[in-house]
Amino acid sequence: MNKKISFIETKEYKRFAEFCDACIKYQYIGICYGLPGVGKTLSSRYYSNWDYIDQHLNYKTAPQVVETVDKKILDHQIVFYTAPAVRATRMTGDIERIAAKLNMVKTMYRVKTFGAEEKYSHNHFENISLIIVDEVDRLKMQGLEQLRDIYDQHELAIIFVGMPGIEKRLSRYPQLYSRIGFAHEFDRLSKDEAHHILEYKWHELGLSVRLEDFSDYEAISNIIRITNGNFRLIHRLFAQIERILEINNLQSISLDVVNAARDSLTLGIK
């Protein structure tokens, strides 16, 4: 069950990527909002390639950078940042440090690989085209003003990622809201796409079950109905299914097993 999960480029992700591309092209602030578990954070990290970038920012020496980083980092111009749950007063400094580390890694790679001149810019946001701020709902006015200040001072785009309603809340801050150019609602999987993924992309979801493990087609249809296109709920439901199969020494996933798994979940299913 806990196998490595591959990111699935769904139709909703492709819409999100187009939204991000547009924000970068026009250097706007954008708002992305959606229900919990639909894939906003995973999509943001995938679009920014942050799993790759983040592991290379805690460098120690230039040789270490060259050993672990490849040249694709030179083209990277996106910073991903999760808004802090408390005390966002140092948020500007945190984002600047991330951007500075990214540019430092690029410089160290150029120096050691190509023999380029060692030049460091005082503008930490040089060559940064987009900042994605996740969990923006956590921020109060002061934090939002910090982000607006970064946007006003540098030629880049910013995307706020949060829960439904964030777009209405931001409208109460006219100076910030006037800079917002695009809004995108990150929707759930459609029934057809959820059905396709559950039938043909089990392993990409990190699930160990197989289509032949189901005793009837109705069990699959019920999973689609219960989870309603929510990736997080799919994983939680299958964790319960696997537990029930093990406890009861069962070999197949029936409608009764799916319903028992649903009843075991405490949140998210009505």
Structure tokens at 34: 């959606």
The gap from C-alpha 23 to its chain's centroid, in whole angstroms, comes to 16
SS3 call for 113: helix
Give which of 96, 86, 95, 175 is closest to 138, Cα–Cα. Answer: 86
Answer yes or no: do 220 and 135 share one domain.
Answer: no
Answer yes or no: do 44 and 148 share one domain.
Answer: yes
Residue 157 lies in a domain: yes
Q: What pLDDT, on the 0 to 100 scale, is given for residue 119?
A: 63
Structure tokens at 37: 């578990």
Answer yes or no: do 156 and 257 share one domain.
Answer: no
Length of the chain: 270
Answer yes or no: do 202 and 155 share one domain.
Answer: no
SS3 call for 240: helix
Q: What pLDDT, on the 0 to 100 scale, is given for residue 176?
A: 93
What's the pLDDT tens digit per position in 183-197? 999 999 888 888 777
Residue 2 lies in a domain: no
Of 170, 185, 200, the residue that ends a domain is 185
Q: What pLDDT, on the 0 to 100 scale, is given for residue 2?
A: 46
Q: What pLDDT, on the 0 to 100 scale, is given for residue 208?
A: 63
Count of domains forming the chain: 2
What is the mean predicted confidence (pLDDT) over 230-243?
A: 86
59: pLDDT confidence band, cut at 50, 70 and 90? low
Long-range contacts of 244-253 (CB under 8 A, 24+ apart): 251/213, 252/213, 252/214, 252/215, 253/209, 253/213, 253/214, 253/215, 253/219
Residue 269 lies in a domain: no
What is the mean predicted confidence (pLDDT) over 222-235?
A: 87
Q: Alpha carbon of 159 to those of 48, 78, 113, 175: distances in Å?
A: 12, 11, 33, 16
Partner residues linked to 72 by β-bridges: none
Give dist(CA 138, CA 145) in Å, integer. Answer: 13
CATH code where residue 152 lies: 3.40.50.300
DSSP states of 144-180: HHHHHHHHHHSS-EEEEEE-TTHHHHHTT-HHHHTTE
What is the mean predicted confidence (pLDDT) over 125-129?
A: 92
Q: Could you tell me the sign of the dihedral formed by the alpha carbons of 68, 80, 78, 43, in that order?
A: positive
153: pLDDT confidence band, cut at 50, 70 and 90? very high
Q: Could you tell me the sign of the dihedral formed by the alpha carbons of 103, 109, 115, 118, in that order?
A: positive
Better-predicted residue by pLDDT, 156 or 117: 156
Answer yes or no: do 258 and 150 share one domain.
Answer: no
CB atoms within 10 A of CB 127: 16
Give dist(CA 30, CA 157) in Å, integer. Answer: 8
Q: Alpha carbon of 181 to those of 26, 121, 137, 157, 206: distances in Å?
A: 8, 29, 19, 10, 36
71-85, 110-124, 199-213: segment of lowest average pLDDT: 199-213
Residue 3 lies in a domain: no
The parent domain of residue 101 ranges over 11-185
Q: What is the CA radius of gyration of the chain?
A: 22
Q: Helix crossing, 91-114 with 141-153: angle to 10°? A: 40
Give which of 12, 31, 40 is closest to 165, Cα–Cα. Answer: 31
Residue 5 lies in a domain: no
What's the pLDDT tens digit per position in 20-47? 999 999 999 999 999 999 999 999 999 9
Answer yes or no: do 126 and 237 share one domain.
Answer: no
Residue 23 lies in a domain: yes
What's the pLDDT tens digit per position in 4-26? 567 889 999 999 999 999 999 99
Residue 133 lies in a domain: yes
CATH code where residue 254 lies: 1.10.8
